[in-house]
Amino acid sequence: MSEGAASATPTAEALSREAIARVDLSGQLGDVLALPEHLRDALWRVESAIMQDFDTSAGLVVAGMGGSAIGGALARAALSDHATRPIFVTRAYGLPPWTTPDTMVLCASYSGDTEETLACYESAGALGARRTVATTGGRLAEMARADGVPVIPLPGGFQPRAAVAYMTVAALEVAALCGAGPRLTSEIDVAASHTEQLVAEWGPDAPEDSLAKDVARGLLGTTPVIAGAGLTTPIAYRWKTQINENAKQPAFWNELPELDHNEIAGWEGAQDVGRFAAVFLDDSDAHPRVKERMDLTEQTIAANAVASFRLETRGETTIERVISLVLLGDLVSIYLATLRGVDPGPVKVIDDLKAALTQR
């Protein structure tokens, strides 16, 4: 639950379905609310790829960018201590130098035309590594089918970041197939039901003082700085990127305990340079020392922050807890976009940059 509040008076504007629809012209809210359905559909889509178990002693590398890469990081967090092989996410034009033929490489690109991921696909092939692809089509699907590489078919029509459930489940299932972790099929199905309850609690039909709406109002007019620890570290990054793309504003992230060795000193001058809000993402099952450190860090930072929030995972299993804060962050970003009056869907600056790159 929230343990902080905005120092400024929050806007009284309602965050109803109708109010959101007036701004959310591309229907991003619907994709967020469909997260439980996406989790279940993702399991079916992985099964439809007809993949065989392939034990890889070197583990799993997930190659992707942006919303297509986050699934690998979230899957690694969800597996937690149950991972039995290394699981690494690469967001670059190449694979880690230690990649060998015994490594499974999952190339994840929603569009299928992400040039960095295409480069990783080709690098994996040159190394003789086992490959799997998760995509809607594009050049990646064409090459994979020509090479006889399994393709996990993703549904079209989303912004890549809205396919987070599909990318997370794909990474979890491929990790199981290559021996990097246990199968979490039943846990994913239970997590979908748990997420449905949270959608009702935090969604647009919830009261105006519900948690997601309260956090969005507290972050309005600030630069959010999100901190995670352990399980919540990749979720903190997800919050940052969702606020960037949906609310179209700066946001930053870090992780504990690292930020206590540098960033915490910078908060002393926060009020001199801008309006910053602190968001701490806690895990209900975090190590006691991590919780104590987060307590002290929040107390130290709060005096220099416009708003401070402490938010905790919900659920019993790791996948439930991971998805709970992913959902909360996605909703907060949509509500924040609504309060700012910007359509959360289009990311013109990203599209323009990609187009410019193709001309070089």
Q: Which residues are part of the catalytic machinery? A: 245, 261, 354
Query: Are 40 and 360 a contacting pair, CB within 8 Å?
Result: no
Using CB atoms within 10 Å of the CB of residue 48, give its burial: 0 to 12 exposed, 13 to 18 middle, 19+ buried: exposed
Query: Are 329 and 239 a contacting pair, CB within 8 Å?
Result: yes
Spatial strand order in the sheet of 307-312: 252-256, 223-229, 276-282, 307-312
Radius of gyration of the chain from its Cα atoms, rounded to whole angstroms: 20
Query: Rounded distance, CA 281 to CA 74, Å?
Result: 14
Token digits of residue 140? 């990646």
CB atoms within 10 A of CB 226: 26
Q: Which residues pair with 108 in a beta bridge?
A: 134
Which of 329, 321, 294, 347 has the alpha carbon at shortest distance from 224?
Answer: 329
Q: What share of the chain is helix, strand, coil (3-state, %, to 5)?
A: 55, 15, 35
ω into 257 cis (within 30 of 0): yes
Which of 257, 73, 82 has the alpha carbon at shortest distance from 184?
Answer: 82
Helix 70-79, helix 233-247: angle, nearest 10? 150
